[in-house]
Amino acid sequence: MTASYRAPAPTGTWLRFVQRMAAVSRVVCLLLVTLVSLRFSIASVQRALAMSRGNFTEKPARHEGSIPEPPPSAQSAAPRGTTAAPPSATAPTGQPRSVTLGVSAGPPRSDVYINGRKVGQTPFLGDTSCKTGQSIRIEIMPPRGAPLVYSRDCVGGALEISGPPP
């Protein structure tokens, strides 16, 4: 009996194949990482631009002198023992205000919308802008069931939404 002889496979062919596959996989990985990084950078720029706009599409105009001061004759007409009433503590209509909003009403993880724009999920704590005299519409969209809708006047300061709607 003679031993069978098997010729060894040429190592150069397999080595070149593996090297080519390694080079191709590096290029594919590089392209995927580049695409994902580009997508994240675009999304972050879009979010930054959306956040900087706030609720105003244009810069509000100043309302200089919207509260007329009483004429001097009206102040002198007051009786001597009384003092004139201080100017109104409320801001004129249309004055921009910042409102801190806390929402704990509704089931957890419900979507919160302020004036039709999604701002987060419950429980929510954040800021929004509005103009004095306008109302703020707060909608809480639970995963199941009817939405909870609240309407509050814009006065600045802080608002807390914790109970059922009125």
Q: For the segment 67-109, what is each residue's pLDDT rounded down to a tens digit?
A: 555 555 544 444 444 444 444 455 556 788 888 888 888 888 8
Could you tell me the pTM of the whole model?
0.44
What are the boundaries of each domain within the chain? 12-53, 93-161
Average pLDDT, the chain: 77
* Residue 95 phi, psi (nearest 5): -75, 130
Exposed, middle or buried by CB within 10 Å (0-12, 13-18, 19+), for 145? exposed
Assess whether pLDDT exceeds 60 at residue 4.
Answer: yes
Is the preceding omega at residue 123 within 30 degrees of 0, hence cis? yes
**Hey, what CATH topology would domain 93-161 get?**
Immunoglobulin-like (2.60.40)
Q: For the segment 51-75, what is each residue's pLDDT rounded down to a tens digit?
A: 655 544 455 555 555 555 555 554 4
Looking at per-residue pLDDT, the higher value among 48 and 32 belongs to: 32
Q: How confident is the model at residue 64, as a pLDDT?
A: 57
Q: How confident is the model at residue 34, as a pLDDT?
A: 96
